[in-house]
């Protein structure tokens, strides 16, 4: 550690306990199908949080699980379901039948959600766009307002800034001060970190500050924005983490098949969340052979860049 | 039901989805910027790249840009093979900005419902009179609003090809010619084709879809009786070209277990 850079390393249990109270607006799944913070979501479920507003472009099955567990009163997202299998059944039950509780849905598109976070990251009240003109999303989402451009006569949509209470971002590596490096597709991760009041970084690896400093272009979340750092290897399973493990496609399909009915979901959440006190026991339940199949088969290292002078 | 089955399928030469992939690939021209999307269009991009459009570039809304097809079958655009040897990995706005500038030539979408003017619904479905909540837009509304040409792929039946969608998630031609301009949507944008399990629909000057080609082994009557409005038929109606050997070879190399291209 550099002098003055206090360690923010805490357990997942403590990070959620301290930074994600009931009623929070939480953004997760910022990198779309990669690096979804499932371990964090499961800890939120175990700690029984209520009335959360979930914010994300798509979330694959994480939002579905948190909705099914009753943690959520509102979803502001572009897409809620199961990316490779289709519908999210908990999302459907909540919207259609208020099971386990009613949720409000605020339908965005990927672009409007990105712009909402970008506006907050930029510190302005809205960002203009053409998308959603003519759509029913524009009519039904109060955060999208049509206006006339002040510099020409065009019609535009103002996307209201969205400032979540906390962003939970899974990354490949970070130092203990929260300087976080991630690579691959970034989705809305950078804007999510800057837009949110607090950031929890969940990292596959904790590395020395010298490692981070060796490649500052790859540091996409500067540590001073970060409230807590959690070291949680495999914390994004079943979603992939480039360079660490692949996507567990079968897991998504099993979830799809097993959660079609409410009692099936209740069994699923008991097995994979409620009765799994930590990621270690989750990983044991997953089994070595399944994990081995997801490990990187062939590493593909980039060529180092030269910061010398 | 042999009349509804492409002739190739009856002889086991290709599946209907392989025919749709080949048709989708032909919507991509060489040198174009393509918003690829998921499932069948992901394979179509690979086919186009390896056959007639080697200079096409694929954009993915998660922030990935590729000059080469992914080396393995993708279940989602964020699968690790789609990032390996990508020409660019960045954030969503860096690719969506290209879309909003009007630089993207063609974007592919699926849908639960499409109507006679090409409007898409992926938000609220209807099953036996019950409202069903679907996953929502994702990037679909953005692609339909902003790409120069939008191509939709879906199964052909009266529940999916409807006279009027119950909810416009992604705008097509609205209520007809001129509607997009009235809404303020970019001038050089809009729906170009609907590739179904039975044929290919295109759009007339008035903004309404018509049947441009039928797949091999499908009769026009079948198409009409499976469409939820009185579908117009082109005077010069074509048969959708069958996938050729080169296209089929690429499709089967990308999807050897027929995960996306079985039926």
* Residue B154 to residue B149: CA distance in whole angstroms: 17
Per-residue pLDDT at B38: 85
Tell me the residues of chain B between 152 and 191 that have a Cβ less than 8 Å away from chain A: 167-171, 174, 179-180, 183-186
Q: Which CATH class is domain B2-254?
A: alpha beta
* Residues of B catalogued as catalytic: 61
Confidence of residue B263 (pLDDT cuts 50, 70, 90): confident
Q: B104 to chain A: which residues are within 8 Å by CB?
A: none
Q: What are the structural domains, with CATH classification, of chain A? A: 12-108+184-194+236-291 (3.40.1080.10), 126-160 (no CATH)
Residue B163 predicted with pLDDT over 70? yes
B86: closest chain A residue by CA:
A184
Residue B1 predicted with pLDDT over 90? no
Q: B90 to chain A: which residues are within 8 Å by CB?
A: 185-186
Interface contacts (A, B; CB < 8 Å): 182
Per-residue pLDDT at A59: 84
Confidence of residue B140 (pLDDT cuts 50, 70, 90): very high
Per-residue pLDDT at B129: 84
Residue that wins the pLDDT comparison between A150 and A2: A150
DSSP string, chain A: --TT----B--HHHHHHHH--TT-EEE--TTTTSS--HHHHHHHHHTT--SEEEEES--THHHHHHHHTT-EEEEEES--SBTTTB--HHHHHHHHH-SSS--EEEE--HHHHHHHHHHHHHT-SEEEESTTTTSHHHHH-TTEEEEE-SSSS-EEEEEE----SEEEEEEEEE-TT--EE--S--BTHHHHHHHSSEEEEEEEEE--HHHHHT-GGGEEE-GGG-SEEEE-TTTTTTS-BTTTB---HHHHHHHHHHTSSHHHHHHHHIIIIIT--SHHHHHHHH-HHHHHHHB-SS--PPPPP----
How many percent of chain A have pLDDT more than 70?
98
Spatial contact of B73 and B80, defined as CB atoms under 8 Å apart: no
Per-residue pLDDT at B5: 44
Mean of pLDDT values over B230-234: 98
Question: Under 8 Å CB-to-CB from B249, ≥6 apart: which residues?
Answer: none
Entry pTM: 0.96
**Which among A79, A130, A131 has CB closest to B138?**
A79
Residue A1 predicted with pLDDT over 70? no
Residue B2 predicted with pLDDT over 50? no
Beta-carbon separation of B145 and A79 below 8 A: no
Chain segment B37-64, per-residue pLDDT in tens:
888 999 999 999 999 999 999 999 999 9
Q: B164 to chain A: which residues are within 8 Å by CB?
A: none
Strand segments (E) across chain B: 33-35, 57-60, 64-66, 88-89, 106-110, 113-115, 120-121, 124-127, 130-133, 149-154, 161-162, 191-196, 199-203, 209-214, 232-239
How many percent of chain B have pLDDT more than 90?
89
**Which among A105, A114, A131 has CB closest to B92?**
A114
Per-residue pLDDT at A4: 56
Confidence of residue A2 (pLDDT cuts 50, 70, 90): low
Per-residue pLDDT at B3: 37
DSSP state of B237: E
Q: A190 to chain B: which residues are within 8 Å by CB?
A: 91
Residue B12 predicted with pLDDT over 80? no
* Residue B115 to residue B159: CA distance in whole angstroms: 10
Q: Where are the domains of chain B?
A: 2-254
| DSSP helix/strand/coil, B190 | coil
Chain segment A32-83, per-residue pLDDT in tens:
999 999 999 999 999 999 999 999 999 899 999 999 999 999 999 999 999 9
* Residue A245 to residue A237: CA distance in whole angstroms: 8
The mean predicted confidence, pLDDT, of chain B is 94
Residue B6 predicted with pLDDT over 90? no
How many Cβ atoms from other residues are within 10 Å of residue B163's Cβ? Answer: 12
Residue B9 predicted with pLDDT over 70? no
Mean of pLDDT values over A222-250: 98
CA distance B152 to chain A (A): 17
CA distance A309 to chain B (A): 27
Chain segment A202-221, per-residue pLDDT in tens:
999 999 999 999 999 999 99
**Distance of alpha carbon B156 from the chain centroid:** 13
Tell me the residues of chain B between 101 and 140 that have a Cβ less than 8 Å away from chain A: 123, 130-140
Q: At what angle do helices A89-97 and A262-269 cross, to 10 degrees?
A: 130
Confidence of residue B126 (pLDDT cuts 50, 70, 90): confident
* Residue B56 to residue A142: CA distance in whole angstroms: 38
CA distance A237 to chain B (A): 13
Per-residue pLDDT at B222: 98
């Amino acid at each position: 550690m550099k002098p003055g850079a206090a360690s923010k390393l805490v357990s997942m249990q403590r990070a959620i306990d301290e930074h994600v109270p009931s009623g929070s607006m939480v953004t997760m799944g910022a990198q779309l199908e990669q690096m979804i913070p499932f371990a964090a979501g499961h800890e939120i479920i175990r700690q029984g949080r209520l009335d959360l507003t979930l914010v994300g472009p798509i979330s694959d099955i994480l939002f579905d699980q948190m909705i099914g567990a009753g943690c959520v009163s509102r979803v502001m997202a572009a897409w809620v379901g199961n990316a490779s299998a289709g519908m999210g059944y908990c999302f459907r039950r909540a919207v259609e039948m208020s099971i386990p509780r009613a949720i409000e849905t605020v339908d965005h598109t990927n672009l409007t959600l990105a712009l909402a976070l970008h506006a907050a990251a930029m510190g302005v009240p809205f960002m203009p766009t053409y998308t959603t003109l003519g759509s029913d999303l524009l009519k039904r989402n109060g955060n999208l307002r049509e206006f006339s451009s002040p510099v020409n006569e065009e019609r535009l949509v103002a996307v209201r800034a969205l400032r979540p209470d906390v962003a939970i971002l899974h990354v490949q590596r970070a130092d203990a001060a929260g300087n976080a490096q991630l690579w691959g597709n970034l989705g809305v991760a950078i804007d999510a970190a800057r837009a949110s009041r607090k950031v929890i970084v969940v990292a596959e690896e904790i590395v020395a500050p010298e490692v981070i400093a060796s490649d500052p272009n790859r540091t996409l979340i500067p540590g001073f924005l970060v409230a807590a750092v959690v070291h949680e290897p495999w914390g994004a399973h079943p979603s992939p983490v480039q360079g660490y493990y692949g996507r567990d496609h079968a897991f998504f399909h099993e979830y799809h098949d097993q959660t079609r009915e409410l009692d099936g979901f209740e069994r699923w959440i008991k097995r994979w969340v409620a009765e799994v006190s930590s990621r270690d026991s989750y990983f044991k339940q997953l089994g070595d052979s399944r994990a081995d199949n997801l490990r990187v088969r062939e590493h593909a290292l980039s060529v180092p860049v030269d910061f010398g002078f | 039901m042999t009349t509804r089955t492409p002739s190739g399928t009856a002889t086991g030469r290709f599946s209907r989805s392989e025919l749709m992939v080949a048709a989708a690939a032909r919507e991509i021209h060489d040198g174009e910027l393509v918003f690829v999307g998921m499932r069948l269009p992901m394979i179509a991009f690979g086919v186009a790249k390896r056959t007639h459009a080697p200079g096409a570039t694929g954009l993915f809304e998660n922030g990935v840009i590729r000059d080469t097809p992914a080396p393995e079958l993708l279940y989602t655009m964020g699968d690790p093979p789609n990032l390996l040897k990508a020409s660019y990995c960045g954030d969503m706005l860096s690719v969506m900005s290209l879309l909003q500038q009007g630089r993207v030539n063609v974007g592919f979408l699926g849908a639960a419902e499409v109507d006679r003017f090409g409007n898409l619904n992926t938000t609220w479905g209807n099953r036996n009179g019950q409202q069903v909540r679907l996953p929502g837009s994702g990037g679909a509304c953005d692609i339909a609003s902003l790409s120069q040409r939008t191509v939709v792929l879906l199964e052909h039946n009266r529940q999916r090809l409807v006279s009027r969608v119950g909810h416009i998630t992604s705008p097509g031609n609205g209520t007809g010619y001129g509607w997009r301009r009235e809404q303020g949507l970019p001038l050089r944008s809009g729906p170009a084709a609907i590739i179904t399990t039975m044929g290919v629909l295109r759009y007339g000057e008035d903004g309404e879809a018509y049947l441009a080609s039928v797949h091999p082994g499908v009769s026009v009557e079948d198409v009409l009786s499976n469409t939820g409005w009185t579908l117009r038929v082109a005077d010069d109606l074509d048969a959708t070209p069958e996938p050729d050997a080169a296209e089929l070879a690429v499709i089967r190399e990308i999807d050897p277990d027929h995960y996306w291209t079985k039926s």
